[in-house]
A and B are shown apart, each in its own frame.
Chain A
Amino acid sequence: MSRPEDILPPDLFYNDTESRKYTTSSRIQKIQSSMTHRALSLLSLTSPSLILDVGCGSGLSGEILSQDEDSGTPGGPHVWIGFDISASMLGVALEKEVEGDLFLADAGQGVPFRPGTFDAAISISAVQWLCNAETSEESPAGRLSRFFNGLYASLRRGGRAVCQFYPKNDLQKKMVSSAAVKAGFGAGLLEDDEGTKNAKTYLVLTVGGGDVDGDITGVVRGMEGVDVMDERRRAKDRKRGEDKKGSKAWIMRKKEQMERKGKVVKTNSKYTGRKRRIAF
């Protein structure tokens, strides 16, 4: 299947015809709405909040955010602010007269809001666009880190963000989640219908707080097939657990490594790795 990210940059790909196609297709509408509902349930908002919609496009997800509790939006109606890089998409949103405020902005250039602005952030099928850089001045890693750093700052403490995206491969999935973790988020990756063609990847991010176990977000607790990545903890553990060079444990580990490689290694004895007496 062709990926639109590989064809053109988002501002050019979503031109007037493509934006209209995207917005009027009932199939896309249905998928977007189910993903938005899923993301909202992951955000678990209880009261009307200020929400950032990254890559809001024509406001398909924003329309759901503006709905009230009776229409299936928990805690709604929310007030949302959305930005998108495609002017045509925003044009369609203007025609539909969505309630949220719209911006023409590139998420890869950061999030221009003062710290602690939003209660939550949502992003439906947008983050994969950040994995491409269109000029040699930029890099996907730089774009991702600017976006997540900006997002981290603009969310209030205890806030949450859910980013649904289509990773091209595991590498891209890792690149996105590690960029989020580096920015300071607690990150959990959730996959619906894993392994099928309809697989949906949600990156659940939290700001501040955190439990002892790896599952900081709490939303994936008790769910099957969920990987929890915590880069900070892994780095700390590695540092503590690493053997000092020259110690007995280090020598044993090295010998084991060599043995696995098929090298000839002396058998271990009680003298292996023992300290020598000082000669004088």
Chain B
Amino acid sequence: MKLLTLNFLTCAIKTCKSSPASFPLHPRDAELEVVEADLNLAFLKNILPRLMWDELRVIASELGLPALPETPPSKADLSIPSPTAPAPATTLQLDPEAIDAPENPPVVESDVEEETPSQTAVDLHRILLETCITEGKLVCGNCGHEYAVKEGVANFLLPGHLV
């Protein structure tokens, strides 16, 4: 399960719906995996305003990933306006080594009229769409219910009395 998905998941139990603690679900005993995917700059720009950045930072720290910057990157940070311009100063200081990833992030070829993705975009893509939880548990901060994750598939089936 991608970290992007985890940034949108809440507890499924009815009584947790009204509680702010039901989001985010906290990963426990999680095994991580990096699955290579194509960088999609338009999607990143689309999803950026909907991300809960603070919660993403909390989850990244719980998973033992390198700390994310305190403020979310803006849309302008994601692309390099012209090939000659220097990279934006606010890159996510992500160390690819920390999550047993290949050393060089993949160089993504952009279309002719599209902007080139910046290092920020590459890092954001890595953490949101390539870092996946394969095994472990997701725990609700409110009721403490544990959702098991197996082979990347989380089990959200609930017994009848909790629906």
Sample 11 A-B pairs with CB under 8 A, ordered by A number.
A49-B46, A50-B46, A77-B40, A79-B40, A79-B43, A94-B152, A109-B163, A110-B12, A114-B23, A138-B163, A156-B50
| Total contacting residues, chain B, CB less than 8 A | 31
Q: Is B40 in contact with A105, judged by CB distance below 8 angstroms?
A: no
3 residue pairs, one from A and one from B, having the closest CB atoms: A105-B156, A112-B12, A48-B43
B24 to chain A, nearest CB (A): 9
CB-CB under 8 A for A138 and B160, given A99-B37, A101-B152: yes
Whether a CB of chain B sits under 8 angstroms from the CB of A104 is yes
B19 to chain A, nearest CB (A): 12
Q: Is B4 in contact with A79, judged by CB distance below 8 angstroms?
A: yes
Residues of B contacting A138 in the complex (Cβ-Cβ under 8 angstroms): 160, 163
Q: Is A119 in contact with B46, judged by CB distance below 8 angstroms?
A: yes
Closest to B12 in A: A112
Give the contact-size bracket for chain A: 20 to 34
B141 to chain A, nearest CB (A): 13
CB-CB under 8 A for A79 and B163, given A48-B40, A104-B153, A112-B10: no
Q: Is A137 in contact with B160, judged by CB distance below 8 angstroms?
A: yes
Contacts of B133-163 to chain A: CB distance below 8 A: 151-158, 160, 163
A90 to B38, CA, bound (A): 23
Centre residue among A85, A103, A112, A113 by max chain B CB count within 10 A: A112
Whether a CB of chain A sits under 8 angstroms from the CB of B127 is no
A104 to B5, CA, bound (A): 14
Residues of A contacting B1 in the complex (Cβ-Cβ under 8 angstroms): 101
Q: Is A81 in contact with B46, judged by CB distance below 8 angstroms?
A: no
Contacts of A120-173 to chain B: CB distance below 8 A: 135, 137-138, 146, 156
CB-CB under 8 A for A113 and B8, given A48-B43, A48-B46, A119-B46: yes
Q: Is A104 in contact with B157, judged by CB distance below 8 angstroms?
A: yes
Residues of B contacting A104 in the complex (Cβ-Cβ under 8 angstroms): 153-157
CB-CB under 8 A for A105 and B12, given A48-B42, A49-B43, A112-B156: yes
Residues of B contacting A50 in the complex (Cβ-Cβ under 8 angstroms): 43, 46-47, 50
A47 to B46, CA, bound (A): 8
A102 to B149, CA, bound (A): 10
Residues of B contacting A105 in the complex (Cβ-Cβ under 8 angstroms): 12, 155-157
A85 to B156, CA, bound (A): 9
Q: Is A81 in contact with B12, judged by CB distance below 8 angstroms?
A: no
Whether a CB of chain A sits under 8 angstroms from the CB of B2 is yes
A205 to B58, CA, bound (A): 35
B140 to chain A, nearest CB (A): 10
A110 to B22, CA, bound (A): 15
Residues of A contacting B52 in the complex (Cβ-Cβ under 8 angstroms): 114
Q: Is A102 in contact with B152, judged by CB distance below 8 angstroms?
A: yes
Contacts of A80-109 to chain B: CB distance below 8 A: 81, 83, 85, 90, 94, 99, 101-106, 109
B6 to chain A, nearest CB (A): 9
A114 to chain B, nearest CB (A): 5
Residues of B contacting A109 in the complex (Cβ-Cβ under 8 angstroms): 12, 156-158, 163
Contact partner, B9, options A112, A137, A156, Cβ 8 Å: A112
Whether a CB of chain B sits under 8 angstroms from the CB of A23 is no
Contact partner, A110, options B4, B40, B163, Cβ 8 Å: B163
Residues of A contacting B163 in the complex (Cβ-Cβ under 8 angstroms): 109-110, 138, 146
Whether a CB of chain A sits under 8 angstroms from the CB of B78 is no
Contacts of A40-75 to chain B: CB distance below 8 A: 47-50
Whether a CB of chain A sits under 8 angstroms from the CB of B121 is no
A138 to B162, CA, bound (A): 12
A255 to chain B, nearest CB (A): 51
Closest to A136 in B: B160
A177 to chain B, nearest CB (A): 23
Given pairs A112-B9, A138-B163, 7 additional interface contacts (CB within 8 A): A94-B152, A103-B156, A104-B154, A106-B156, A106-B158, A110-B14, A119-B46
